[in-house]
Amino acid sequence: MKICAFAGAFSIAFTAASIADNHAPDAPEWGMGNPVEIYGCQFKDGVDGYKQAIKHANLVNDWAEEHGAFQNHVGQIMYPEFSDGEYPSEFTWLGYWQNYEDYGADMDKRAEYGAELYVEADKLLEQCAHSEWGMWELFPAEGEWTLDNHVTEFSDCVYKDGKGDSDLLVANVAFAKEMAAHGLTGAEIGAVQLWPRSGATPGLENAISFKWITGYPTLSAYANFTNVWWNEGLIMKWNTLYGDIVSCDSGRVYRSQVMNRP
């Protein structure tokens, strides 16, 4: 897939709604997913969070260069722009890879040689959650804006009774067409969906089905999409396509500072 809301420049040969040759002509099927990890932590008392987070990210980059790690990886620190103030993490790190081979190799290197990273992180962070996700593309970003600082919006979604992946995929294909019909392009927006693999909220009662993530190169692009959403009727198309399939909560918007890239 193209890692679009985060890394459109990777240009991986995949589309989320690829058409199967041996299925009905109009039947989409899920393509390949790609690995994502998310850290959510609190800063320890007395820590200058921003300054120390940047310092630690640079330490990780130096370590990665020394050990030949994270060469096909993008990592970003995320700072809340719009939220309800109750979101649990003061420090959020999101990293993703082009493929599972590189991901696995980097995890092995971090486990074997990364003790100093954990020692240094322990000086500024506590109560860390570490989760792994699979990412599938909905609307591809274009160009390299996802490899620079940008804006990322998260929303958690839950399937309604009796609905599932096949229903979602059909809606995804139709909604991508609606986005394009409303004049949106990958130069100003990209969207993916993240599915939990490990480390997400435990239990079934509070578990989400997936995260809906939309990326924008700037806050102006975010504002433009909001105008299309509210004032040009895209929200009505979304309700028609998804209203019987999923429920999604209010978005949380972050400024994403890219600290590591290929």
Q: What is the CATH number of the domain that holds 106?
A: 3.30.70.100
Cα 148 to Cα 262: distance, rounded to the nearest angstrom: 11
In this prediction, residue 89 carries a pLDDT of 79
User: Mean pLDDT throughout 7-34?
Assistant: 52
**Furthest C-alpha separation in the chain:** 61
Question: Any idea which of 37-46, 48-57, 200-209, 228-237 has the lowest mean pLDDT?
Answer: 200-209
- Sign for the CA dihedral angle at 27, 32, 260, 91 comes to positive
User: Mean pLDDT throughout 112-139?
Assistant: 96
Q: Do the bridges between strand 17-19 and strand 28-30 make them parallel or antiparallel, or are there none, so unpaired?
A: antiparallel
User: Mean pLDDT throughout 12-28?
Assistant: 44
pLDDT band at 86 (very low <50, low <70, confident <90, very high): confident
Tally the domains of the chain. Answer: 1
Cα 81 to Cα 176: distance, rounded to the nearest angstrom: 26
The residue range of the domain holding 8 is 4-260
| Other beta carbons within 10 Å of 81 | 15
Higher pLDDT, 203 or 127: 127
In our burial notation (b when 16+ CB lie closer than 10 A, e otherwise), range 44-58 reads eeebebeebbeebbe
In this prediction, residue 88 carries a pLDDT of 64
pLDDT band at 43 (very low <50, low <70, confident <90, very high): very high
In this prediction, residue 256 carries a pLDDT of 97
User: Mean pLDDT throughout 54-58?
Assistant: 96
Which residues lie across from 60 on neighbouring strands?
Answer: none
In this prediction, residue 14 carries a pLDDT of 32
In this prediction, residue 203 carries a pLDDT of 62
User: Mean pLDDT throughout 208-230?
Assistant: 97
In this prediction, residue 202 carries a pLDDT of 65
Question: Any idea which of 75-84, 115-124, 201-210, 241-250 has the lowest mean pLDDT?
Answer: 201-210
Three-state SS at 176:
helix
User: Mean pLDDT throughout 83-100?
Assistant: 86
Question: Any idea which of 14-18, 114-118, 119-123, 188-192 has the lowest mean pLDDT?
Answer: 14-18
pLDDT band at 97 (very low <50, low <70, confident <90, very high): very high
pTM assigned to the model = 0.88
What is the average pLDDT score of the chain? Answer: 89
In this prediction, residue 25 carries a pLDDT of 53
